[in-house]
Amino acid sequence: MKPRTYKILNDCVDNGIDLGWKRAHKHTDHPSEDLIKTRIEEAIMLEICENFSFDEDEPEADKSTQSCKN
């Protein structure tokens, strides 16, 4: 069996966008553009970290997974 990586990653992005949008609007009806972008980015990375693991030895993984708790 082989996972459908592209679909899983695409689902992470879609779910992250929805979650980030909701979080940006949680305490205000008119969040700033920067807040919206930040909440969406955080939520996308959270979704990715929940569905993928990263090798600690990879230099890129250190930067892109700062919020991941493996």
Question: What are the structural domain ranges in the chain?
Answer: 1-25+32-53+63-70
Mean pLDDT value across the chain: 88
Q: Is the pTM of this model over 0.85?
A: no
Using the predicted structure, report yes or no on whether residue 6 has a pLDDT greater than 50.
yes
Structure-token pair, residue 20? 């980030």
Averaged pLDDT, 32-37: 98
pLDDT tens column, 38-69:
999 999 999 999 999 988 766 554 454 456 76
Spatial contact of 35 and 59, defined as CB atoms under 8 Å apart: no
Local structure of 25: helix, strand or coil: coil
Contacts (Cβ under 8 Å, ≥6 apart) of 21? 36, 39, 40
